[in-house]
Chain A
Amino acid sequence: MMLKRTAVWLVLLCPVGAMAADAPPGASSCSGCHPASRTVDTPVKRLIGSNPAEIVAAVQAYRSGQRSATVMDRIAKGFTDDEIKAIADWYGAQKD
């Protein structure tokens, strides 16, 4: 009982940003090119708050060559379908 209460207390103490600790493998690298901030001047799309299904479809199309890419054709080949979905879901759930 005591343990449980401590656990709840810890969860409450964790701010929203602490969720990022649970980012799926690979997700944290994306922000090297995909800006977290809205103010960065780059042609690269923001992933935060994007529709996960659209991210998955885009990455799969890059991987298969259906969609032309510069670097995403190669990066997409480094992830399985499950890994891509986990990353897309996580970015979709992130809020500004």
Chain B
Amino acid sequence: MTGSPSRRDVLKTAVATAAAAATVPLPALAQNGGGRVVVVGGGFAGATCARMLKRLDPRIAVTLVEANQTFIACPFSNEVIAGLRDIKAQQFDYRKIADDKVVMAFEPASAVDPQARMVTLAGGTRLAYDRLVLTPGVDLRWDALPGYTEAAAERMPHAWKAGEQTLLLRRQLEAMPDGGLVVITAPANPYRCPPGPYERASLIAYYLKTHKPKSKLIILDAKDAFSKQRLFQNGWKELYPDLIEWVSLSSGGKVTAVDPASMTVETDFAKHKPAVANIVPPQKAARIAELAGVADRTGWCPVEPTSFESTLQPNIHVLGDACIAGAMPKSGFAANAQAKVCAAALARLLGGQKPDDPRLINTCYSVIAPDYGITVAAVYRATNGQLVEVQGSAGTSPVDAPKAVREQEAKLADGWFKTITGEMFG
């Protein structure tokens, strides 16, 4: 987070530091032929990369730096918001990763020195590395939308990092009277989980339709087009007619200011007074990326596509939502796929070999209702320093698929979550 930390965050950090002080090991030492890799961030990219790297070459000393002992997954957290899923189903711990001989350091990273190849943790521990993997995810940009501060997010949740914010939005929807207005704001590209705001709108609409049918939901969008758009819009027409209204950028959907005190969400053309406001603000790579000098002026991290090494700092690799991965979207699946490619590349690089020319896949499920799933998928390859779609591979589920296909995709979405989290934490 970039703003001044809240008291709770300071306290959380202090507790984590105290807890970590007892467990943080001495900096890993270079081993015969192995090398030292530090991974900062234990999400879809970082947890996968640390674990895979250790499996590929157990001689490599791998340390995973993560501020929280419990990981709370974002994919499927929209179901928690809609009351369809317990947040416990989103929670995972790092015990199995530690069992794989990855050294866990439960403490935030506070500095990176690319010249000295050293990561400093909040408690002062210094970790030397041969290769550093930064998978810090996103920070919300508290300077991007007038009125939207960390304090405002307590009244108008973003719920774009799963956890307390997810539950706050859930509680607000539960407390809202029937007939209330819900506003969701969607940012311009790029941001974490491109179809996320629309899946969220769908599942909140499902909750409203089944519990508060007089209510209405408006999506105020800073874009004129979005991921899986036709599939979402067809699904809305079929399942939630007259409940969801999407206001595009060219129809005046861009939010210009919010005021949590009066619960106002403002565009150039209208002032909305919703009962529940879910503000998804613009984002950037999390702060440690900036501190390490791997973020460019867009706020994101350019990388070379065969090993995801930063084009700004040698020996630092950036994966997942924080990196600029060409045509690959900022999804959990993409982060996991990148992590496995990076792990293989690191094993080769540390062994004095060149990385292979990779292929990566992304598959992204969204659910419009519990039994109505849709997908987008593509295969990617590195061309001229960029990850591009392999021709013919990219596309969404059919627009005119029968109900059985939608049901099947909803089931597969559930299977996907179990599989990928199993690979990371199981």
A residues near B (Cβ < 8 Å) are: 10, 13-15, 17-18, 20-21, 23, 25-26, 28-37, 39-44, 70-71, 74-75, 77-79, 83
Contacts and interface: CB of A to CB of B under 8 A. Distances in A.
A18 B380 CA distance: 25
B419 A25 contact: no
A63 to B, nearest CB: 9
Interface of B: 33, 52, 55-59, 333, 336-337, 340-341, 344, 347-348, 356-361, 363, 375, 377-380, 389-390, 392-395, 397, 405, 408-409, 411-412, 414-416, 418-420, 422-423, 426
Contacts of B420: 32-33
A44 B344 contact: no
A2 B378 CA distance: 47
Contact of A17 (B56, B358, B359, B415): B56
Nearest to B401: A70
A75 B377 contact: yes
Contacts of A15: 58
B360 A29 contact: yes
B419 A28 contact: no
Contact of B337 (A14, A28, A40, A42): A28
A42 B395 contact: no
Contacts of B347: 18, 21
Nearest to B421: A40
Contact of B344 (A28, A31, A40): A28
Contact of A43 (B58, B358, B378, B411): B411
A31 B44 CA distance: 13
A58 to B, nearest CB: 16
A64 B341 CA distance: 28
Contact of A41 (B348, B361, B375, B415): B415
Given A17-B58, A71-B375, 16 more contacts: A17-B56, A21-B348, A26-B379, A28-B344, A31-B419, A32-B337, A32-B423, A33-B419, A35-B419, A39-B426, A70-B408, A70-B412, A78-B378, A78-B389, A79-B379, A79-B390
